[in-house]
Amino acid sequence: MTQGLSHPAASSQPSPSATSQPPTEPSPATLTADDDNDPPPPPKPAPKLCGVCNTQPGKYKCPRPGCAMPYCSIPCHKSHKGNHPPDPPPAPSQPTAPPPQPTNKPDPKDPYQVLLDHAHVFDRLFKKYPSLPSALNSIQSQTLPPPPPAPGSTPSFLTGGNPRKRKEPPWSKDVGLRKGADALRKARTDPTDTGDGVREYCEVVLYLLSLGGDKGEVDRDGKEPRPLAERAVREVREEVWREERRVVESLLREEEG
């Protein structure tokens, strides 16, 4: 009777294979099935067609600002370029302040301002008579004081000069004006083209100065304006008179000393 029955403890123990089985890795088929469950990537956008021919995909874009139309080839680009709308007008710039006007206005009391206002007349004279500027500079040089003697030069009284030669008076504005007048007189009587230029130059100067008769200085009696030419002559005479007076006073002081 006892041989047919099994021991209860032996029948209740589990087998080693049932209790200690190692974990199994997923098979490639299982991984493939999981990847199929992921959402597919979004499709790539289709290239824009050429905006000119509308058949080929556009490879380039118009470089004009605000356009960027796609085109596929050089012929399409040339066609688009010829029919391209004009660029928008540029934004108006801020108005800039005008440059300041010069404040050195001509003096209406200057009797010689009329000569400066007609400088183009003298330019034509200088072109007509090329030797005229040199002649005028020579006349002006006679009105200037003589240059000082060069350093180391021998005085005139030691060079054996003529002792009876009249000694020239010391230079003054009066002496300079007299020498300038003599030089002008000689130049006006010159029969060459230079003399013609000097004579025409003098006529133009006197004519322009006479134009200011209606704008001249009022005479001392207050009756009528004095022409500009007369004013210029009067100012020169007064300056010469003042210079002569200074020369006389200096000579008297030297005699008293």
Domain residue ranges of the chain, discontinuous segments joined by +: 48-83, 113-144+170-256
* Contact predicate 70/49, CB 8 Å: yes
Q: Identify the weakest region by mean pLDDT among 30-39, 111-120, 131-140, 237-246.
A: 30-39
The rounded distance, in Å, linking the Cα atoms of 77 and 62 is: 8
Structure tokens at 73: 């080839």
The rounded distance, in Å, linking the Cα atoms of 257 and 250 is: 11
Residue 2: predicted pLDDT: 44
pLDDT at 47 over 60: yes
* Contact predicate 86/95, CB 8 Å: no
The rounded distance, in Å, linking the Cα atoms of 236 and 196 is: 26
Cα dihedral 30, 32, 36, 38 in deg (nearest 10): 90
Q: Where are the beta strands (DSSP E) in 69-228?
A: 70-71, 217-218, 225-226
Residue 129: predicted pLDDT: 92
Q: How confident is the model at residue 6 (pLDDT cuts 50, 70, 90)?
A: very low
The closest of 63, 64, 60, 87 to 75, measured between CA atoms, is: 60
Which one is predicted more confidently, 35 or 186?
186
The rounded distance, in Å, linking the Cα atoms of 134 and 124 is: 15
Helices (H), 118-158: 119-128, 132-142
pLDDT at 37 over 50: yes
The rounded distance, in Å, linking the Cα atoms of 167 and 178 is: 16
Max CA pair span of the chain: 193
Q: At what angle do helices 193-210 and 119-128 cross, to 10 degrees?
A: 170
The closest of 37, 41, 42, 64 to 51, measured between CA atoms, is: 64
Give tens-digit pLDDT for 102-138: 555 555 567 777 778 888 888 998 999 999 999 999 9
Give tens-digit pLDDT for 184-237: 889 888 889 998 999 898 888 888 877 765 444 444 444 444 555 556 556 656
- Percentage of the chain with pLDDT > 70? 48
Structure tokens at 59: 């490879």
